[in-house]
Amino acid sequence: MMKSDDKQKLLIIEDDLGLQSQLRWHFDQYEVVLAGDREEAIAAVRLHEPPIILQDLGLPPDDEGVDEGFRCIREISNLHPAAKIIVMTGNADYENAVRAVAMGAYDFYQKPVNPETLDLILQRAYHIHNLEEQNRRLQEQQQAPLDGVVACDPVMLKICRTIEKLAPSDVTCTLTGESGTGKEVLARALHNLSPRKDQRMVAINCAAVPENLMESELFGYEKGAFTGANKRTLGKVETAGQGTLFLDEIGDMPLSLQAKLLRFLQERVIERVGGREEIPVDVRVVCATNKDLHKMVADGSFREDLYYRICEMEIQIPPLRDRQGDKMLLARHFLRKTIEQTKAPVTGFASEAIEAIEAYQWPGNIREMENRIKRGVVMCDDKQVSSEDLGLVSEESLNLNLRQVRYNAERAAIIRALTMTESNVSATAKLLGVTRPTLYDLMKKYNIQSDKLQDV
């Protein structure tokens, strides 16, 4: 007989106790979890994370008369998007069944129950769920989601998917994040995936150009516009025509020039310095900055109207220290790249170098890592790059003890849940997906004390 741990989980949400028993008996090949109302269902989803959910759409309304069936679908879809919800409806309830599917349900089944038909629907749902899980795992293993981007961190993979969605449009994007996080690499990926890929991507660093030259650098100038202007010269905006203009470090753009940039972004026309002719320009604009634009708008050093114009889509790039699994992935990528360039007889990293790479916080992010790897290959006297070669010798050691890692993570999760529920034990237990006795045991285990506990 199949063990309970080997069975696939099935959550049945049904307020009719007789039908509950009938369905539980029929689906004995599954690990069946029963819920009689929305609150029980949400608690069961948190605790068991079932791949398939069979829900009666006709759940009784709450005390305020709100339809619990549709509310249950919405909340489960937000909490556990991968789950397949199959709603059961009455024969004359076709419109509500279609509405449920539009809200996120996978399929519907009209009562009275026909066991063979319901079996087929569930088998198909499990098959689709398993295929989606396999596809999700393959996507997570993908190391180069975009050209030039090396990542396996879920946040970075989500950013890459966002870039892919934005590329076909002309939405003005602003990439924000610390220096060295790869903003220009993502901007170039955005250009290469766009219909403008065959045209130029022209970059200008707003922090590197003197304030008195910035306007002519951007918009160009006419002959005789100022001393030394011996011929008409096109600016970066015109040069990028039909392509992409990348405004790097836009947070450093002088306030006096921000109004002229805003006019260009609104009207898509420019005037060269010393000229009066309005010149239309078709160009996609991508910006980047390591500054906090929200704060700059608040203190008046960055125009609010320009902020909203350039941030039609704002993408926050995480620092390297927050990217799960990306440190060694990037380190090995840069090592292979440097070995190919230098033909150095290096085979890899020493074990203590790997620990140092994982433990280091990388304040300079990816740019710092690339430079340290190059240094390590140059300085390496053996076959393997050491932490000393990388300049990362430290007394700090990397803690890879799984027991300690789990202890720290579980304790932090319990404290956070207690804070969110204002120390309500029942609400905290539901949020964590455990029973109240288990929560008390965990609090004792992790020495978590609170004078404001509410056992309700």
Domain holding 247: CATH number?
A: 3.40.50.300
The answer to whether residue 129 sits within a structural domain is: yes
Q: 70, 78 in Cβ contact below 8 A?
A: no
Q: Which of 261, 296, 318 is the last residue of a domain?
A: 318
The answer to whether residue 455 sits within a structural domain is: no
* CB contact set of 80 (below 8 Å; sequence gap of 6+): 45, 49, 50
pLDDT of residue 292: 93
Distance CA 85, CA 100 (A): 9
Q: 206, 250 in Cβ contact below 8 A?
A: yes
Residues 215, 337 within the same domain: no
Distance CA 414, CA 419 (A): 9
The answer to whether residue 255 sits within a structural domain is: yes
- The CATH number of the domain holding residue 135 is 3.40.50.2300
Question: How big is the chain, counted in residues?
Answer: 456
* CB contact set of 332 (below 8 Å; sequence gap of 6+): 348, 349
pLDDT band with cut points at 50, 70 and 90 for residue 225: confident
The answer to whether residue 450 sits within a structural domain is: no
Q: Domain range holding 411? A: 402-445
Residues 268, 190 within the same domain: yes
Q: Is the pLDDT of residue 414 over 60?
A: yes
* Closest by CA position to 327, among listed 337, 335, 338: 335
Tens digit of pLDDT for each residue in 18-41? 888 988 999 999 999 999 888 899
427, two tokens: 């609400």
Mean pLDDT of the chain: 87
The count of domains in the chain is 4
Residues 129, 21 within the same domain: yes
With 0.85 as the threshold, say if the pTM is over it. Answer: no
- The CATH number of the domain holding residue 357 is 1.10.8.60
- Taking only Cα atoms into account, the Rg of the chain, rounded to an integer number of angstroms, comes to 29
Tens digit of pLDDT for each residue in 43-98? 898 888 899 999 988 877 766 656 788 889 988 987 788 899 999 887 667 888 88
Distance CA 130, CA 178 (A): 38
The answer to whether residue 53 sits within a structural domain is: yes
Q: 79, 43 in Cβ contact below 8 A?
A: no
Residues 183, 310 within the same domain: yes
Q: Is the pLDDT of residue 268 over 60?
A: yes
Q: 188, 248 in Cβ contact below 8 A?
A: no
Q: Which of 292, 318, 344 is the last residue of a domain?
A: 318
pLDDT of residue 1: 44
* Closest by CA position to 11, among listed 111, 125, 133, 98: 125
The answer to whether residue 147 sits within a structural domain is: no
Other CB atoms within 10 Å distance of the CB of residue 21: 12
For residue 376, the one-letter residue type is G
423, two tokens: 């120390």
- DSSP of 276-297: ---EE---EEEEEESS-HHHHH
Residues 205, 291 within the same domain: yes
297, two tokens: 């708008």
CA 215 to chain centre: 36
Distance CA 84, CA 121 (A): 11
